[in-house]
Amino acid sequence: MAEFRDIYWWSSDGLRLHARDYPGADDTPPVLCLPGLTRNARDFADVARSIAPARRVIAVEFRGRGESGYAKDPMSYVPLTYAQDVVALLDDQKIDRFVTIGTSLGGIVTMLLAGLVPGRLAGALLNDVGPEIEPAGLARIRGYVGKPSTWPTWMHAARGVQEGNAAAYPDWGIEQWLAMAKRLYRVNSAGRIVLDYDMKIAEPFRLPGNEAGPDMWRALAALAGVPVLVVRGALSDILSARTAERMVATLPDATLVTVPEIGHAPMLDEPAVQPALRHWLARIGNRPAD
């Protein structure tokens, strides 16, 4: 039996979107894994295996990534549209209550979902992202997103990924870099290894303000009624310690875990994260939001 099945649904503007669906128990809200800006469902393979089959896990691919369709209008590559696409998935799958694990952009989408579908979000993990994004990290992302790169072999790709991300994962070995390359890249029809996303996702992201949206502290406040786990890489240039601490102080049921010797973003399989993730999930049942 396959560990997951592919599911597809349609956006309001006619895009065919994709997710990996890992089967699990149906007596608790399923976990929706929402990836970072240039990432896809493959990022959550290990996390999904650690959660399913105790819970159903759906690893989403935002429009323009992986097997999801590429948008005709690049200005639809913004967090609010991604959130609306997720709502369409929830409706397609007839999911009432759900949990999110959101990495970076996925965490921003999580905050927006809390306001878009009040009462339906049962819990949230925000992975290395918050209402304020550090300027240095934002500049770094703007410097590489949307710039194509191709490689002749997976080892070349791994070395390229290492060159661009060594500061975030200083203790990684070549096997980990190779695994990251295989999550981030795909083989095209010419046999070259290429990035697995639409380069046009960079167009709105490069416009001031479009990386997150207006008043994200207000968006965060919509999570006040549910258990929230904030994960921060100790070396992160996206989520500062100050912002993470303010997030936990703002939310009445939030916990902060800081992952040592990791930057943006933790993979969520780190020893510092796993016990906290299990404890957070164990607290989330199927009860209505307060």
Domain CATH for 127:
3.40.50.1820
What is the pLDDT, as a whole number, of residue 172?
98
Phi then psi for residue 80, to 5 deg, are -65, -40
Q: What pLDDT, in 10s, does the model give residues 38-50? A: 999 999 999 999 9
What is the pLDDT, as a whole number, of residue 167?
96
Q: What is the mean pLDDT of residues 152-177?
A: 97
36 occurs within a structural domain:
yes
CB 24 within 8 A of CB 55: yes
Give how many domains the chain has, as a whole number: 1
CB 234 within 8 A of CB 259: yes
Three-class secondary structure of residue 243 per DSSP? helix
Query: Please, what is the angle between helix 174-184 and helix 154-165, to 10°?
Result: 100
Q: What is the mean pLDDT of residues 53-75?
A: 97
Q: What is the mean pLDDT of residues 30-56?
A: 96
Three-class secondary structure of residue 163 per DSSP? helix
228 occurs within a structural domain:
yes
Q: What is the mean pLDDT of residues 259-269?
A: 97
What is the pLDDT, as a whole number, of residue 290?
43
Q: Is 191 exposed, middle or buried (0-12, 13-18, 19+ CB in 10 A)?
A: exposed
195 occurs within a structural domain:
no
CA angle 197, 169, 106 (to 5 degrees): 40
Q: 2 falls in which pLDDT band (50, 70, 90)?
A: confident
Provide CB contacts within 8 A for 223, sequence distance 6+. 110, 111, 114, 121, 124, 251, 254
74 occurs within a structural domain:
yes
268 occurs within a structural domain:
yes
173 occurs within a structural domain:
no
Q: Which domain holds residue 62?
A: 5-145+204-282
What is the pLDDT, as a whole number, of residue 212?
46
Three-class secondary structure of residue 237 per DSSP? coil
Q: 205 falls in which pLDDT band (50, 70, 90)?
A: confident
Does the pTM surpass 0.85? The reply is yes
Structure tokens at 129: 């992202």
Q: What pLDDT, in 10s, does the model give residues 213-230? A: 558 999 999 999 899 999
Phi then psi for residue 13, to 5 deg, are -105, 20
136 occurs within a structural domain:
yes
157 occurs within a structural domain:
no
Q: What pLDDT, in 10s, does the model give residues 182-195? A: 999 999 999 999 99
CB 203 within 8 A of CB 74: yes
What is the pLDDT, as a whole number, of residue 286?
55
- pLDDT of 281 > 90? The answer is yes
- pLDDT of 126 > 50? The answer is yes
210 vs 108 pLDDT, higher one:
108
What is the pLDDT, as a whole number, of residue 211?
47
